[in-house]
């Protein structure tokens, strides 16, 4: 039954079946396929076909090696008992709201047994991101991001922020060119923005500071007295509470590893900072209380950057301070200070010579070029790697900074056959040469527009950052059209049957 499943996983499955005995009536658990902070996910057979019979074959398409197995599969998500009832309700309710679109995994069933909660979802054949992100060609990258944006467009239209967009939460099948957004454990409804009058905006009422962020106002934002200063990797406070920190001359350094000042009197901002390290937008790190669905677009940018640079994980920060430093390295302190001011904060960085005011030369293109170049120096890419197409684009972009919508002379010259067209009457295959030229031009165009999308995803001001709907209208995706099958019966997904209601 379990094949090569580790013994500890078998024991865990047996424990789950004992805790929720009604599971074995409808499902045969095969393996554990995922685990997170708040849940574990198992692959199981829908023995009676009670759930899967309601959906089209797309959801239950299996790989060739599984065709001999009887019955389609489902994913059983076991939500840990340590999760609060409100959190469990929120996730199940959002899954129900989002049912009806094939880009988002719908909830098919929900089972409760004492303190155990099981959500039944479709199982999707997909590949782990680590197995294909270094080899996926630019057109494959474009299709993957297109699928992800389609899912986010649907989610955001419902007023929902996913908050945890990352490769492991977007199940993508490169062979099918299809992907599904999963795991709404951190998702929440987008809060309504309340535009206060100018008089209230500048109110000094400290009671409102904890949930106030000036980025939601239309007036100029003054720099706040709340100054974030990073010196040699440590945060510095210039507050009045001298006894709470270690004095070092005119400034006071606070080592965050030793906790917070005991006598700190300033009110700290409060905001939801949930998400995965390395994928959180700057407004999340800066505790903005006016967070919107644009935080998910920043995460899309991180995924796209991982594709282009062929590096994952892209950012490996251990805390918020490291995350801010990583952003400063790429985008520069000038842009980060402006971003901090937008959210009513000040930002100063000292003692780190590698961090400059303008960031990495040539911005994101320069950063990707550095990363790819460093790998080429140690020969980690095979000679046939598609990463060389990206590096070739970056090396030649100084000679041609526009897409090849016209002559494309630079690209054509680079792709033309080096053979002498004269000679002993040999016929040169002009058609192959033409196709090669067309391919090179399209690869160039895709890279050109791909980096443009990347810039739009990494816009620091969330109000100026493009939405999923806007990005789908970008020239990068002009050749892609929506050809998904739509099942009108997807709304009928929450069927608790005879089981106890959650």
Three-state DSSP class for 270? Answer: coil
Closest CA to 164 of 252, 74, 281: 281
Q: Among 87, 71, 73, 63, which Cα is nearest to 41's?
A: 73
Cβ-in-10-Å burial (0-12, 13-18, 19+) of 156 comes to buried
Q: Measured between alpha carbons, how far is residue 77 from residues 35, 40, 105, 185, 376 in Å?
A: 9, 6, 12, 11, 42
- d(CA 327, CA 324) in angstroms, rounded, equals 5
Going by C-beta distance under 8 Å and a sequence separation of 6 or more, which residues neighbour residue 391? Answer: 369, 372, 373, 376
Helix (H, G, I), strand (E, B) or coil at 195: coil
- Rounded to whole angstroms, the Cα distance separating 432 from 411 reads 16
* Catalytic residue list contains 135: no
Whole-Å CA distances, 53 to 71, 75, 339, 493: 10, 15, 51, 12
**Among 26, 46, 109, 164, which one carries the catalytic annotation?**
164
Q: Are the beta carbons of 181 and 148 closer than 8 angstroms? A: yes
Contacts of range 411-416, beta carbons closer than 8 Å, 24 or more positions apart: 411/437, 411/440, 411/441, 411/444, 412/437, 412/440, 412/441, 414/440, 415/439, 415/440, 415/441
What tokens were used for 403? 């897409």
Q: How far apart are the first and last CA of the chain?
A: 30
- Catalytic amino acids? 164
């Amino acid at each position: 039954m379990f094949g090569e499943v580790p013994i500890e996983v078998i024991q865990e499955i047996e424990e789950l079946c004992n805790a929720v005995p009604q599971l074995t009536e409808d499902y045969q658990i095969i393996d554990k396929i995922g685990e997170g902070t708040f849940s574990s996910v198992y692959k199981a057979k829908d023995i009676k076909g009670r759930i899967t019979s309601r959906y089209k074959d797309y959801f239950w398409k299996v790989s060739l090696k599984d065709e001999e197995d009887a019955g389609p599969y489902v994913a059983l998500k076991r939500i840990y008992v340590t999760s609060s009832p409100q959190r469990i309700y929120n996730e199940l309710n959002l899954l129900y709201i989002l049912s009806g679109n094939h880009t988002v995994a719908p909830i098919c069933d929900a089972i409760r047994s004492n303190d155990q909660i099981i959500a039944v979802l479709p199982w999707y054949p997909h590949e782990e991101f680590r197995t294909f992100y270094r080899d996926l060609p630019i057109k494959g990258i474009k299709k993957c991001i297109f699928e992800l944006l389609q899912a986010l467009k649907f989610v955001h239209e419902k007023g929902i922020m996913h908050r945890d967009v990352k490769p492991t939460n977007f199940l993508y099948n490169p062979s099918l060119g299809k992907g599904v957004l999963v795991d709404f454990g951190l998702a929440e409804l987008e809060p309504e923005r309340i535009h206060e009058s100018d008089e209230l905006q500048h109110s000094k009422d400290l009671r409102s500071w904890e949930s106030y962020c000036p980025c939601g106002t239309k007036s100029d934002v003054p720099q706040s007295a709340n100054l974030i200063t990073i010196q040699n990797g440590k945060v510095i406070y210039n507050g009045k509470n001298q006894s709470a920190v270690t004095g070092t001359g005119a400034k006071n350094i606070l080592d965050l590893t030793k906790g917070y000042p005991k006598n700190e009197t300033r009110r700290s901002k409060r905001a939801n900072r949930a998400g995965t390290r390395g994928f959180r937008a700057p407004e999340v790190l800066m505790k903005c209380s006016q967070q919107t669905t644009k935080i998910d677009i920043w995460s899309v940018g991180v995924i796209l950057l991982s594709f282009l640079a062929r590096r994952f994980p892209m950012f490996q920060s251990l805390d918020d301070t490291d995350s801010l430093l990583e952003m400063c390295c790429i985008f520069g302190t000038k842009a980060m200070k402006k971003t901090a001011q937008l959210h009513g904060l000040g930002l100063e960085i000292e003692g780190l010579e590698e961090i400059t005011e303008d960031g990495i030369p040539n911005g994101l293109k320069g950063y990707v070029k550095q990363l790819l170049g460093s790998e080429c120096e140690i020969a980690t890419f095979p000679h046939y790697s598609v990463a060389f197409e990206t590096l070739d684009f970056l090396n030649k972009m100084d000679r041609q900074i526009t897409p090849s919508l016209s002559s494309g002379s630079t690209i054509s010259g680079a792709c033309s056959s080096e053979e002498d067209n004269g000679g002993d009457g040999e016929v040169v295959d002009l058609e192959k040469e033409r196709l090669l030229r067309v391919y090179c031009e399209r690869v160039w165009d895709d890279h050109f527009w791909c980096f443009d999308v990347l810039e739009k995803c990494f816009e620091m001001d969330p109000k100026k950052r493009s939405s999923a709907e806007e990005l789908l209208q970008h020239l990068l995706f002009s050749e892609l059209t929506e050809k998904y099958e739509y099942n009108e019966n997807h709304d009928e997904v929450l069927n608790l049957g005879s089981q106890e209601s959650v």
